[in-house]
Structure 1
Amino acid sequence: MTSGANTVGDVFSAGAEEFHRWSGALWDPVGAATAEAAAPAAGESVLDACCGAGASALPAARAVGPAGRVDAVDLAAGLLSIGERRAREEGLDNLRFHRHDVTSWPVTGDGYDIVQCALGVFFFPDMDRDAAALTRKVRPGGRFVVTVWEKGALDGWQSALREAVLTERDLPRRPQRDQLARIDTADTLTAWLRDLGGSVPRVVRRQFDTPLSPATAWVLATGSGTRGMLTGLSPAAVERVRTEFTTRITRAGVTDLDVRILTGTARFTG
């Protein structure tokens, strides 16, 4: 949802309402874990990159309080609108949502105390280059925080979806899958943060399962990055995929979403 990839922003924007239906069960817990690892303090400044509907920006804004500020940046206009609505409902005047390429987001002064990115870096066109651009927005001594899926997470749901889509079309290997595969263990994420120039990297692992039905599984399929697999298919073909997906996920006995995330934190001296 960033860095020149308007198609990615469009995919998430088109599925914004479906995305938000999973906020309470999935995105908000992941965002809360990200903000907890970032540990924003009262009065600090935070850049929330690839902010989506505000899952990690909202808890950061609560933590920094009126004296702090949070800039939440994404390209998915539909998700930004939801985030703005949620911030208004909570009266979080210190939180602002912006539609912008986060890698070229302008920084004033010495930079942000925290730059955090939950489930976003692997969507960048060039993960190393674009993440390095984010680290340059961290003030000297500030924190860079990244959450990614752990290796094997979401497998039952995702495998059933891919197999269903393959009955209608070929699926080239997605670049984001290759990029995620480079940082989906605690050791590789730690090494990556060091390669970016981070010091004292620390990785926290979280795991939780959330109930999954065929109906909610399809909502997730159309309300996340996997929606792109369906782009260009006719409505009839999409319906056939949904039917096949339902059959496969039921046959496999997938009744929970296997959620496993890694959150890495490092300090940057500038």
Structure 2
Amino acid sequence: MTTGQNTVGDVFSAGAEEFHRWSERLWDPIGEATADAAVPADGESVLDACCGAGASALPAARAVGPAGRVDAVDLADGLLAIGERRAREEHLRNISFHHHDVTSWPAPGAGYDVVQCALGVFFFPDMDRDSAALTRKVRPGGRFVVTVWEKGSLAGWQSAFRGAVLTERDLPRPPQMEQLARIDTADTLAAWLGDLGGSEPRVVRRRFDAPLTPESAWVLATGSGTRRMLDGLSPAAVERVRTEFTARLTADAVDDLDVRVLTGTARFSG
């Protein structure tokens, strides 16, 4: 999977520590919400796709207990290392982190009880094809769970950052934004899960408070997928982007990230 000159894994690995600085306030609450919707039970097996630093994989491992199993898969070595560290700190021995393209990850036996993916499917080169590959890893009757940004979420922060970068370079609309736009409402996400072959699609909306300062806003910009917008810019140009970004956040009074997500769940017959 590639974005510009760098793979998705490269982009997120490069900003891994910045990414993790937002774990407690952003990624972990979203991951908890994803695992809550998946309802992993004691002894079940879970595949956590695009696992990052373990935001949804770790709560799933707690839920399935010692008799259960979680395979957490991602392309970002830097984030996987953080996830492994966090699992060790919690003494979780039922979770394994793997550097692998999750779409070709081999499912065990009849498949996983749960396949979950938080904020990842729209990064796939082909969201429909690659998500369908994930659903084939679900055992008959198992659950497929996807969390995505709701339409309009993060708008102030994103607009300020994109506008700041545009003062230094042209930016095409990222393909993942085109894909996300197809599933960023409750109705379109439910319909998409149905089109993939899922039954009983259900979508839950969650909102989280995430206060924002210019410093934390920059940490997020350099610790998430938006980091790729800075690829190839000189250090001086990056500093000009940061100054312009701060000015735009201040002018528009953007002091909260406006985090809204949708978590869709469906059952698959295998």
Aligned-residue offset at 1:184: 0.1
TM-score (norm 2): 0.98
Tell me the SS of whatever aligns to 2:241. Answer: helix
Residue 228 (1) aligns with residue 251 (2):
no
Output the amino acid matched with 1:72: A
Identity across matched positions, percent: 82
Tell me the SS of whatever aligns to 1:211. Answer: coil
1:49 — aligned with what?
49
1:77 — aligned with what?
77
1:31 — aligned with what?
31
1:199 — aligned with what?
199
Contact 1:4–1:101 (CA<8 Å) still a contact in 2? no
Unpaired segments ≥5 residues, structure 2: none
Residue 262 (1) aligns with residue 262 (2):
yes
- After superposition, the Cα gap between the structure-2 partners of 1:4 and 1:214, relative to the gap in structure 1 and judged at 3 Å, is closer
CA distance in 2, matches of 1:172, 1:129: 23
Aligned-residue offset at 1:7: 1.2
Contact 1:47–1:112 (CA<8 Å) still a contact in 2? yes
CA distance in 1, matches of 2:215, 2:200: 43
CA distance in 2, matches of 1:140, 1:4: 32
Output the amino acid matched with 2:72: A
Contact 1:205–1:263 (CA<8 Å) still a contact in 2? yes
Structure 1 residue ranges, 4+ long, deviating more than 6 angstroms after superposition: none
Note the alpha carbon deviations across 1:213-252, whole angstroms, 9 max, x for none. Answer: 0000000000000001001111110000000000000111
Q: CA RMSD in A?
A: 0.8
Unpaired segments ≥5 residues, structure 1: none
- Aligned pair count reads 268
TM-score (norm 1): 0.98
Note the alpha carbon deviations across 1:158-186, whole angstroms, 9 max, x for none. Answer: 00000000000000110000000000000
Note the alpha carbon deviations across 1:95-152, whole angstroms, 9 max, x for none. Answer: 0000000000011200000000000000000000000000000000000000000000
1:117 — aligned with what?
117
Aligned-residue offset at 1:4: 6.5
CA distance in 1, matches of 2:153, 2:210: 12
Tell me the SS of whatever aligns to 1:62. Answer: helix
CA distance in 2, matches of 1:240, 1:184: 32
Output the amino acid matched with 1:212: L
Aligned-residue offset at 1:208: 1.6
